[in-house]
Amino acid sequence: MLGRSLRPLFAAIVITVPTLAWAQGPPPFPRPGQQPSKPPTQSPPPASPSAPATPAPVSTPDKGDPGDLGVPIYPGSQFITSYDAGRGQRYYLYGTISDFAQIVGWYRTTLKQRGEVVFEEPPVHMFEIGRFKEETMAFMPSVTVKDYTWAGSAGYINPKPGGNPARFKTIIQIVPNPPGAPK
């Protein structure tokens, strides 16, 4: 079992993915009580013509559906993308229009475990699916479910232009066991 003090760290990736996905613009929806962001009043200084700008390294999302991850995927969910988690691991995001509680219930039955509430607001529930080895893994092998309709939000914006649905109620993040890792 993962120590209580580390659980939020491992589930936080679900919370930060929208920030990573929309790093060039505003978040997909404001938080309750948050004012819309305003563009800066001053433009950034022009780049020096003598030195070309070097872009910072960015973890590029993988656009292809990974297929079998060694863990059941909630029926009807859509693959969104995957990201490099470091140390040879990737995490995979799936969106669904099903309610958070329904998905958590399905994973409780399918994985035959209760999982743990990581955050109550917004609701985030995590199911451990493998052993964490600090020396070889960046993240706990897990299934993490997050409610994106919390506090009246319209949901997680579908990043596929013209994608159906336009927004997902719930996001499922899967960090599979690395090949050869004990389950």
pLDDT band, very low/low/confident/very high, at 31 (cuts 50, 70, 90):
very low
Q: How many domains are contained in the chain?
A: 1
Candidate from 61-75, 94-108, 144-158, 162-176 with smallest mean pLDDT: 61-75
Say if residue 158's pLDDT is above 90: yes
Alpha carbon 131 to its chain centroid, in Å, reads 20
Does some domain include residue 33? no
Does some domain include residue 101? yes
For the chain, the first-to-last Cα distance in angstroms comes to 12
Domain that holds residue 80: 1-23+76-183
Does some domain include residue 90? yes
Say if residue 13's pLDDT is above 60: no
Does some domain include residue 41? no
Query: What residues contact 135, with CB distance under 8 A and at least 6 apart?
Result: none
Instruction: Give the pTM.
Output: 0.67
Does some domain include residue 98? yes
Higher-scoring residue by pLDDT: 51, 158 = 158
| Average pLDDT over every residue of 9-30 | 45
Does some domain include residue 9? yes
**Quick one: pLDDT at residue 144?**
98
Distance CA 17, CA 175 (A): 14
Distance CA 155, CA 5 (A): 28
pLDDT band, very low/low/confident/very high, at 182 (cuts 50, 70, 90):
low
**Quick one: pLDDT at residue 72?**
95
Does some domain include residue 66? no
Distance set, CA 109 to CA 1, 4, 112 (Å): 19, 23, 5
Does some domain include residue 62? no
pLDDT band, very low/low/confident/very high, at 135 (cuts 50, 70, 90):
confident
Say if residue 53's pLDDT is above 50: no
Instruction: Quote the radius of gyration of the chain (alpha carbons, Å).
Output: 18
Name the 3-class secondary structure at 150: helix
Work out the angle at residue 170's Cα, subtended by the Cα atoms of residues 95 and 141, and round it to the nearest 5 degrees. Answer: 75
